[in-house]
A and B are shown apart, each in its own frame.
Chain A
Amino acid sequence: MEERLLMKGNEAIGEAAIHAGCRYYFGYPITPQSELIAYMAKRLLKIKGATFIQAESEIAAINMVYGASAAGGRVMTSSSSPGISLKQEGISYLACAELPCVIVNIMRGGPGLGSIQPAQGDYFQATKGGGHGDYHLIVFAPSSVQELVDLTIRAFSLADKYRNPAMILGDGLLGQMMEPVQFKEFDEKNIPSKEDWALGSSHGRKPRRIVPFDLDPNELEKIVNKLGQKYQDMQKEVEYEVVNIDNPDIVIVAYGSIARIVKTTIQKAKQEGINIGLVRPITLYPFPYAAIEEVANKVDKFLVTEMSLGQMVEDVKLAVKGKSQVSFYGRTGGVVISPIEILQEVKKLLD
């Protein structure tokens, strides 16, 4: 068995990225993810051939990601909510140019400069595109430090597979907490070759260009339709966890750190004879519509809990297709929902 290490979420993402062969990192510090950029600085500068740059801004950093990815490198950037907003133009360019990379968002309270405490208000931004134009990111929602590791590694792999940016959507709670983690063996031979498309020396072959545009509408439509087909293909990568789903009184849908808190609610409810089920999307894009619909065929009450005014709840309603009643409970501003609050909400709905 691999050694267990006690690691902070932010640092675990960094180590996972390096473990998965990431050798290029560009970023700009912001709470509550600054330990990640600090970790990358400490580690990458010691690896021969690797590059770490603390850029002059988030915008500069995401464009450096574009360059490194176009050259065929495994590359990552990270930030927290307001910084991710700044990156959106560059993310849209990466999507159009079909450049793989991993973007980490350790969410904090918003909108605006908001607060530095945990929140989940960037769900729409992450899952519906975020920047301009027709595109999606592959979005993962880890709920433990171990999952931060496993899903960061998976994000690199899927980004390469689909030549599309992937996002790790965590929050301040996950970034700051420490838990034991293990790193499974990773063979760098599994990283696909990018020689057939990446830039580099064009000696002996035709020069290439990687650009995020085509001024001929018919040509651009072909590019966009190709992206559309890719998003269809990606649907098979959907991942989710279900807990206690046999005959529950109510099902809660929650992701990330809030799903952990819901698990405590489930334990407390059991002591009072209330049976709560949980569906936890692990990928937010693609979203587990089919899995939730299947549950809706058997259970007539859903509660969605998020640290937002209600964003994922819209996707849950789409999944449920009116077959069950869907309610919402959320806190915002950086307030973390307590397990007892959720239990009280459940009791109200079951009355």
Chain B
Amino acid sequence: MLDEIIIAGFGGQGILLMGRLIAHAGMLEGKHVAWMPSYGPEMRGGTANCTVIISSEEVASPVVPNPLSLIAMNLPSLDKFEPLVEKGGTIIVNQSLISRNIYRDDVEVVKVPANDIANELGNLRVANMVALGSYIAKSKSVKMQTVFEALEQTLGKGSEKIIELNKEALKRGEKIIIG
């Protein structure tokens, strides 16, 4: 089992947390994982991205030039990473913020209206969890239940309301794939 994922979007969209949850869930399932953020001045208000590797084998390079999966939360991210996705890979697109079509015809595309669903749930900030839910359901790289556990361990006690909202958002994202 191997997935190499790049997650990209605006700073503030919760990009790094999405990656951390996949890595954390993978760890809880006993898999090998690595998480690598972009860092630097571009993070302040600009674009943010991170790479996650989740594998049944030991992780070699933590740097991934050609990811198997891409979660693009905004247009600049799609423009930057679409050409790099491995042939036969998957692109999860935040349809709420990206109106253009995908140029590639050799990858699978999943369109998720992440911001619209988050707005329906009453909090735009969980758009990241909607997209993450779709990714988890599509890739099956980790179980949704484990992501819930990772979420609880990451946010901790006293955040029950936020955890519930995030779980709801994850489930809505999952529903787009499994119906």
A residues at B contact (CB < 8 Å):
4, 6, 31-32, 116-117, 172-173, 176-180, 257, 260-261, 263-264, 266-267, 336, 338-340
Contacts and interface: CB of A to CB of B under 8 A. Distances in A.
B88 interface: no
B61 A339 contact: yes
B20 A178 contact: yes
A250 to B, nearest CB: 18
Contact of B65 (A177, A178, A260, A339): A339
Contacts of B41: 116
B interface, over-half SS: mixed
Contact of A6 (B20, B37, B59, B62): B20
Contacts, number: 61
Contacts of A267: 60
Given A6-B23, A6-B27, A177 B62 contact: yes
Given A32-B39, A116-B39, A257 B62 contact: yes
Contact of A173 (B33, B60, B63): B63
Interface string B41-84: 10000000000000000011111010000000000000000000
B40 interface: yes
A264 B60 CA distance: 5
A261 B61 contact: yes
B20 A31 contact: no
B172 interface: no
Given A116-B39, A260-B60, A260-B62, 10 more contacts: A116-B41, A117-B40, A173-B36, A176-B36, A176-B37, A176-B39, A177-B62, A257-B62, A261-B60, A339-B65
Given A6-B24, A31-B39, A172-B39, A179 B34 contact: yes
B23 A178 contact: yes
Contacts of B34: 177-179
Nearest to B153: A6
Instruction: List the 5 closest pairs (A to B, CB-CB), nearest first.
Output: A263-B60, A264-B61, A178-B35, A264-B60, A261-B61
8 contacts: A31-B39, A173-B36, A178-B36, A180-B32, A260-B59, A263-B60, A266-B60, A339-B60
Contacts of A336: 63
A257 B60 CA distance: 9
Interface in B1-23: 20, 23
Contacts of B62: 173, 177, 179, 257, 260
A178 B21 CA distance: 12
A339 B63 CA distance: 9
Nearest to B28: A4
Nearest to A5: B27
A179 B33 CA distance: 6
Nearest to B52: A178
A31 B42 CA distance: 14
B67 to A, nearest CB: 13
B61 A260 contact: yes
Contacts of A6: 20, 23-24, 27, 33, 35
Nearest to A145: B34
A338 B65 contact: yes
Nearest to A261: B61
A264 B59 CA distance: 9
Contacts of B20: 6, 178
A116 B40 CA distance: 7
B142 to A, nearest CB: 13
B34 to A, nearest CB: 5
B39 A263 contact: no
Contacts of B23: 6, 178
B5 to A, nearest CB: 14
Nearest to A179: B34
A249 B166 CA distance: 52
Nearest to B57: A267
A241 to B, nearest CB: 12
A257 B109 CA distance: 33
Contact of A179 (B39, B59, B61): B59
